[in-house]
Amino acid sequence: MKVTVLMENTTPSGMLEARHGLSLFLESGDTRILFDVGPDEAFLTNSLALGVDVRTADAVVISHGHSDHGGGLHAYLGAPADAADPAPIYVNEHAFEEHAAGTPEKHHDIGLDPDLADNPRFVKVHGGLQLNERMRLFAGVAIEHPIVESNRVLLERTDEGFAPDSFRHEQSLLVEEGKRRILVSGCSHCGILNIMDAAERIAGTPIDVVVGGFHLMDPGSGKVESAEFTRELARELKKRPSRYFTFHCTGLDAYGILRDELGDRIGYLYAGCQVEL
């Protein structure tokens, strides 16, 4: 698989823009996936600079219902399509529900634009979906390992008002390439270890490569998870045979701790990166 990072929080390039958000262009065999679209139209600007034609994507996947991953949908839907049959956009069935950050009493919206929810391009995924013979979306992850403290400021609308987010709107992508299994996750709000467990149960084998954010940083406050939590996560990741590529909500401070533990088994992907897995 080839991964091109169209949008991420950082970039060393003066030709590219950086935003708090994520957009990846995945190429596996003859299949192309646009995975998330960042917070605004800047992922399209970067794609042109990188020579990536997002119109060639066979499908678009939105990892969860937060605007830093789906805010660019307006720009994507407004761009000219390259085919008579434009790419479907796969979202979890709960992605367009109301999501916020803060407290139940004081919060701000971080959800997807509900006005887009009825667009016929969207395919609402109920739990999981086999995209093709080698790619599967999955959700409904069991929480068996501890999850991050920063999740506590993330909320969802319920019948009683805003409450802590259950992240039932989060979905991940499992890709099979020969005997190798690759997991792609957006922010891993359900916990990267829990998502890996779910992927391994589906695959029936350990995951070879993980590409994902680990949400070890709260973008609102700038706070990061404790060094103790991050080191324990790194030790658990180290027990598995996987190679890791991370970005975005992991944060550079936490990445430094992960790197200390995992060495060259982990890498950081910034806007403009192109890696062959």
Average pLDDT over residues 35-48: 98
Mean pLDDT computed over 263-273: 98
| Predicted confidence (pLDDT) at residue 45 exceeds the cutoff of 90 | yes
3-class secondary structure per residue, 129-179: EEEECCEEEECCCCCCCCCCHHHHHEEEEECCEEEECCCCCCCEEEEEECC
Distance from C-alpha of 125 to C-alpha of 273, rounded to nearest angstrom: 29
Q: Which two tokens stand for residue 111?
A: 């959800």
Q: Is the pLDDT of residue 20 over 90?
A: yes
> How much is the pLDDT for 82?
59
The first and second tokens of residue 217, run together, are 């940083």
What pLDDT, on a 0 to 100 scale, did the predictor assign at position 224? 84
The predicted-structure confidence for 49-101, as pLDDT tens digits, reads as follows: 999 999 999 999 999 999 999 999 999 998 766 555 789 999 999 999 999 99
Q: C-alpha 153: how far from its chain's center?
A: 19
Report phi then psi at 12, rounded to 5. Answer: -85, -5
**Statement: residue 199 has pLDDT above 90:** yes
- Residue 218's pLDDT is what? 78
**What is the Cβ-side half-sphere exposure of residue 41, based on CA atoms within 13 angstroms?**
6
- What is the arithmetic mean of pLDDT over 9-18? 96
